[in-house]
Structure 1
Amino acid sequence: MKRDLGRGGIVVHPYRGYGSRQEVFVMGRVFRQAALGRAIPHHGVLRDVADVVRRIARHGVAGVRVEASLGANRTTATTDRDGFFDIHLPLQTPLPQGLSWHQAELQVSQGDDRMHCHAEVYIPPPETDLLVISDIDDTVMYTGVADRLRMLYRLFVQKAHQRTAFPGVAALYRALHVGADGEARRPILYVSRGPWSIYEMLEAFFQLNCIPVGPILFLREWGLSWRRPWPRRAEDHKHDLITRMLTMMEDLPCVLIGDSGQHDPEVYTRIVKEHPGRVKAIYIRRVDRRPDRERAIERLREEIAHSDCELVLAADSAAMAAHAHAKGLIAQHDLVEVHQACVDEG
């Protein structure tokens, strides 16, 4: 991130990218940020409040030219009305073999000013055998999306070290990342209902909790305003994003992880029907224990019973790990580690 050091002004923030050996995608935002003011201390409540206000009050800068290069491959994009750029870069020149993370160079032009930064891009190695796509909210990290006011507080105000990861999550995702042989280096793509403005917090949260890093893909920009104080509905965006991932990754099978509190079971079941044979398992964390909700999920399980994908409504990370081990997706010693982590962190 090209930071403003508290002085305000134009800020460039690229997000982690993803891709295949044929193409890559990189998103980011160019926005104008208010100055903190020299009177505000570097630490304390006032600084926390100022940081929250600045994140919420960011104004995207439209029409900014972004030049991207990855190896010998180059393209350009222009920011939209909210300041976001979405770069699609076909790889006509192959990238170095043996690397999963690559560095895309970005040149951003705003008037007479030119800023340079880079974005990390993950490309799965050729031997990758599985793609993992996971929700974040109430799946990896406790958010409480059912209570909107508390959700907004947790999203915008709580810092990374104040967030709570579900017991065993880090161990489970590490096990899925390395696979049964310990060398798989499977890509894990994370999806959140939250806005782009909490990206930095989520990166810190993943690092603090030792959760395998991956491109963090948000569903949408919230588009909040005084006239529209709640996020816009975006029920189809997760479906479209997963479809895009499956199309890009060609025949690579996947595992989908979500929670029972929102629409994850419905979206994932639809994906199974539309992409026969691609989804090997659906893991749904039980966060909503209403009988009618559990019956609805049971009906979804029955709808895909004829396929080779099983929908698992899991009480905890240990239950997900047990099924993953039975399917040959993780190693025995990793299964034991996930069970122990659930005990230690629960």
Structure 2
Amino acid sequence: MVSRRTPGRALRKLLHVATKPMKADHGRGGVVVQAYRGYGSAQEIYVLGRVFRQPGFGQSLAEGSLLRDLVDLLRRTLRWGVGNAQVTLKLNDSKLTVSTGKDGYFDIHMKLDTPLDNEKSWHRATLEVAIEHAKRQPDTIETQAEIYVPPASADLVVISDIDDTVMYTGVANKFKMIYRLFFETAERRTAFPGVATFYQALFEGPDGNRDRPMLYVSRGPWGIYEVLEAFFQRNHIPVGPILFLRDWGMTLQNPLPRQAVDHKRKLIEQMLALYDDLPFVLIGDSGQHDPEVYVQIVEQYPGRIRAIYIRNINHDESRDAAIARLADQVAKNDCELLLAKSSQQMASHASELGLIAPESVERVRARSYKEAQRPI
């Protein structure tokens, strides 16, 4: 049974979620360096993040109070990206310095002087950020960045959409999407039945030892990064870098959402170039343009995409027919596209292709049945 919420309670929930990242800074003001999970190969790595300032007022207010939430929301709104900060990434004997853009974001692509050990998946790099001041010495802030590199055992790359593919967000219904993105915490967001078990099977491979790259993309804003991380951990979904498609703004510098034109396609192309010796599986949903984007990728990179799984969230005959035509189109390039109503259907198909262990299908079926009893 899903409880009803009054507008006042809904507003409190919105405030709580919107100010969640502000709680993590322990009331500090000044400059904050936020590094997102990086990714790469033994020869090169990518690290993204942001350097910003935020006010430090309101530290003495009680945690959890309405006034504190309102003050934290104001602090978050008043965040100001630090432009032209010098960000230095260090990993082993490799080092590269870049400057942040006017909104404080940095995007580092560093070639490595010495290849990384491919016997482990996660590597830790150091970030040093120098902030220039007009009348005093520059401040230097140091933090760490986690970087995922596929181990030698990896034989496949999985790229999955998040919204209405991994979890219910209602992208086809904009009001429902906004509600689920901002009003629901990680504990209340719901993964599709069986999705975690299916993704775990893809991660492990047919022999259980592949440790494949699991890369995720979302139409959501950078501001929900922490909530999505908690969601993945709570639902036992294999962790990977979460690559958001756009920054929605929500600052004085950029109060309106930025567009995400062709961004997903470009991200996939970047991954294809990075992992040029591995085949790919692409997973999305039927609600937006995932099938069309994925088909463009198949045609542009023939032989690289092993399978495409599209979760059917529309249940519209005309849309189903259009996707069926796309399936016929990609079949000419030795790729299979499956429009599926459930994670179990995807798992059965993946087992037939030899992508996952046959016994995984029964685990996905059993888990799907159990999780389907949960309210959405």
Coarse TM-score class (shorter-chain normalised) = over 0.9
Taking only the aligned residue pairs, the percentage that are identical comes to 54
Whether the aligned pair in 2 keeps the contact of 1:144 and 1:151 (CA below 8 Å) is yes
1:1-346 equivalences in 2 (<5 Å): 4-35=25-56, 37-38=58-59, 40-43=61-64, 54-55=75-76, 57-111=78-132, 112-224=138-250, 231-346=257-372
Contact 1:55 1:197 in 2 (8 A): no
> Quick check: 2:46–2:108 contact (8 Å CA) kept in 1?
yes
User: Quick one: distance in 1 between partners of 2:170 and 2:217?
Assistant: 16
1:106 deviates by: 0.4
Give the distance between the partners of 1:332 and 1:137, measured in 2 at CA: 28
Offset of residue 128 of structure 1 = 1.4
Question: Which whole-Å CA distance do the structure 2 matches of 1:305 and 1:214 have between them?
Answer: 29
- Alignment check: 8 A CA contact 2:128 2:142 kept: yes
SS of residue paired to 1:63: coil
- CA drift at 1:232: 3.4
Distance 1:226 1:292, change over 3 A: farther
Could you tell me how far apart the structure 1 residues matched to 2:142 and 2:231 are?
26
State the partner residue of 2:18: none
SS for the counterpart of 2:248 is coil
Question: Residues 116 and 232 of structure 1: is their aligned pair in 2 closer, same or farther, counting only changes over 3 Å?
Answer: closer
| Structure label with greater radius of gyration | 2
Task: Determine the C-alpha separation between the residues in 1 that align with 2:320 and 2:289.
Answer: 13
| In structure 1, C-alpha distance between the alignment counterparts of 2:78 and 2:52, rounded to whole Å | 10
TM (normalized to structure 1)? 0.93
Give distance in 1, aligned partners of 2:120 and 2:323.
40
Per the TM alignment, residue 212 of structure 1 is displaced from its structure 2 partner at its CA by 0.5
Which AA in structure 1 matches 2:344? Answer: A
The structural deviation recorded for 1:209 is: 0.9
| Offset of residue 324 of structure 1 | 0.6
Distance 1:309 1:74, change over 3 A: same
Q: TM-score, normalised by structure 2?
A: 0.86
CA shift, 1:158, in A, is 2.2
**What is the CA RMSD across the aligned residues, in angstroms?**
2.2
Alignment partners' CA distance in 2, 1:327 and 1:172: 14
**Matching residue's letter, 1:77:** V
Name the CA shift for 1:307/1:93 in 2 (closer, same or farther; >3 Å). same
Q: d(CA) in 2 for partners of 1:242 and 1:85? A: 20
| Cα distance in structure 2, aligned partners of 1:246 and 1:266 | 18
Closer, same or farther: CA 132–48 of 1 in aligned 2, 3 Å: farther
Shift of 1:48: 5.5
Give the C-alpha shift of residue 52 in structure 1: 5.4
Give a deviation string over 1:76-128, Cα, whole Å, max 9, x none. 11111111100111011122341111001001111322111111101111231
| SS of corresponding position for 2:331 | coil
Task: Name the CA distance, whole Å, in 1 between partners of 2:57 and 2:181.
Answer: 21
The amino acid across from 1:287 in the alignment is: I
Residue range with higher mean Cα deviation, 135-144 or 91-100: 91-100
Unaligned runs of 5+ in 1: none
- Most deviating of 23-32 and 304-313: 304-313
**1:239-265: CA deviation from partner (whole Å, max 9, x where unpaired):** 000000001101210000000010100
**Runs of 4+ more than 4 Å apart:** 44-57, 224-230
Alpha carbons of 1:56 and 1:208: their partners in 2 closer, same or farther (altered >3 Å)? farther
Tell me if the contact between 1:56 and 1:197 (Cα under 8 Å) persists in the aligned partners.
no
Q: Aligned in 2, Cα 1:210/1:44: closer, same or farther, shift over 3 Å?
A: farther
Distance 1:301 1:191, change over 3 A: same
The aligned length equals 346
Partner of 2:48, secondary structure, is strand
Corresponding letter in the other structure for 2:123: H
What SS is found at the alignment partner of 1:80?
A: coil
What amino acid is aligned across from residue 250 of structure 1 in structure 2?
D
The answer on whether the counterparts of 1:61 and 1:82 sit within 8 Å (CA) in structure 2 is yes
Structure 1 residue 235: deviation in Å? 3.3
